[in-house]
Amino acid sequence: MSTALKASRVSYISDFKEVTKYRLAMSVVFSSLAGYLLAVDTIVLSEIAILAFGGYCMVGASNAYNQIIEKDLDLLMKRTVNRPLPSKRMSVNTAFTIAVILTLLGVASLYTLNPKTAMFGAISIFLYACVYTPLKTKTPLAVFVGAIPGAIPFMLGWVAATGEFGIESGVLFMIQFFWQFPHFWAIGWFLHDDYQSAGFKMLPTGEKDKATLRQILIYSFWTLLCSLIPVVGKTGSLEITIPTAVVVGLLGVFLIKKALDLYKDRSASTARSLMLTSVLYITVLQVVYVVDKYIRLWMSL
């Protein structure tokens, strides 16, 4: 294979990964798998593979549609100007073809698990591409709308395993729903100028003010409270032990401390620190939830 052909192939793969936002897609797959592992006592590898594949397709399609719609706005922001569409490395037709194929593959593969999983996957794509994306330049409420598809992955794994949406999957949804506000508002804070240049309204008040900071604090607190609900023992088969609740509580205190730091300091670096802490929070929470479940399962044998 010639050097030029190899370079071209690498470029196509790189652009595919960028138009589907593979890092974000992989984090969604991680959340979905965590929800699945919380729901089952016996792991079925074929179901894991289908859920991972369908989850990636679902998020990849949403991101491709998003970048098609925002290709002109992406030209106005430093962080997005080199994406495949605004830089013209990829045509709109190619991106649309990728999005449609991923939509069909994602919904079809999730349907093989059960119809409810496919339904929630389809709802997620629709809300992200058709409601959240157009609203971003209209109103700060776009973040609230975007938090709905953003909260689906964690509970999607539970629905994929059980075929049911009940109190357990509702709690998982609620945790990731509230978590997204401190996470995305922190991003909106340190990228405020870039977002403004494209007309995106990503902060709750539209400004870097105390009202925005208060809401970041409030939603950080609600995230912690929702995360501790399973320790009460009123959430069906979704439970956590007291030691796990202590770990989650400490994580929540750390998250709230970072939100308080931003309230006091208001700098871009502090907002970035809060964003990174929020990523750590949701990742560790999902891991300790799963570890807690399988320790209890092992001890019951």
Predicted confidence (pLDDT) per residue in 99-110, tens digit: 999 999 999 999
Q: What is the pLDDT of residue 118?
A: 97
Tell whether 223 is covered by a domain.
yes
Q: Please check whether residue 106 lies inside any domain of the structure.
A: yes
- Residue 224, helix vs strand vs coil: helix
Residue 261: what pLDDT? Answer: 97
Tell me, what's the pLDDT at 3?
52
- What is the pLDDT of the chain when averaged over all its residues? 94
- The pLDDT, as a whole number, for residue 66 is 97
Domain housing 42:
15-164
Q: What is the mean pLDDT of residues 20-36?
A: 95
| Alpha-carbon gap, residue 173 to 225, rounded angstroms | 13
Task: Tell me which of 132, 164, 196 is where a domain ends.
Answer: 164
Q: Are residues 145 and 177 in the same domain?
A: no
CA distance 97 to 91: 10
The DSSP element (H or E) to which 249 belongs, if any, is helix 242-265
- Confidence band (pLDDT; 50, 70, 90) for 5? very low
Residue 86, domain member (yes or no): yes
pLDDT tens-digit readout, 184-229: 999 999 999 999 999 999 999 989 999 999 999 999 999 999 999 9
Q: What's the pLDDT at 299?
A: 84
293 vs 233, higher pLDDT: 293
More confident residue, 8 or 159: 159
> What pLDDT score does 300 carry?
78
Specify the DSSP class assigned to residue 165: -
CATH number of the domain residue 122 falls in: 1.10.357.140
pLDDT at 264 over 80: yes
Cα→Cα distances 69→10, 31, 137, 167, 195, Å: 25, 26, 12, 36, 16
Are 184 and 69 members of one domain? Answer: no
- Is residue 233 predicted with pLDDT exceeding 90? no
pLDDT exceeds 80 at position 1: no
**DSSP code at position 166:** -
Inside any domain, residue 9: no
Which pTM does this prediction carry? 0.92
Do residues 136 and 237 both lie within one domain? no
Which of 164, 196, 221 terminates a domain? The answer is 164
Is the per-residue pLDDT at 258 higher than 50?
yes
Question: Residue 12 has what pLDDT?
Answer: 84
Is residue 8 situated within a structural domain?
Answer: no
Q: What does the pLDDT look like over 125-180, one tens digit per residue?
A: 999 999 999 999 999 999 999 999 999 999 999 999 999 999 999 999 999 999 99
**108 and 131 share one domain:** yes
**Does residue 25 sit within a domain?**
yes
Q: What is the pLDDT of residue 9?
A: 60
Q: Does 172 fall in a domain?
A: yes
What is the domain count for the chain? 2
Rounded to 5°, the CA angle 149-153-157 comes to 145
Looking at residue 8, its pLDDT comes to 52
Please tell me the predicted confidence (pLDDT) of residue 4: 47
Q: Are residues 22 and 125 in the same domain?
A: yes
282 and 180 fall within a common domain: yes
Last residue in a domain, options 115, 145, 164:
164
Tell me: pLDDT of 10 over 80: no
Measured CA distances, 184 to 126, 246, 273 (Å): 20, 26, 12
Per-residue pLDDT at 85: 95
Q: Does 31 share its domain with 94?
A: yes
6 located within any domain: no
- Are 128 and 217 contained in the same domain? no
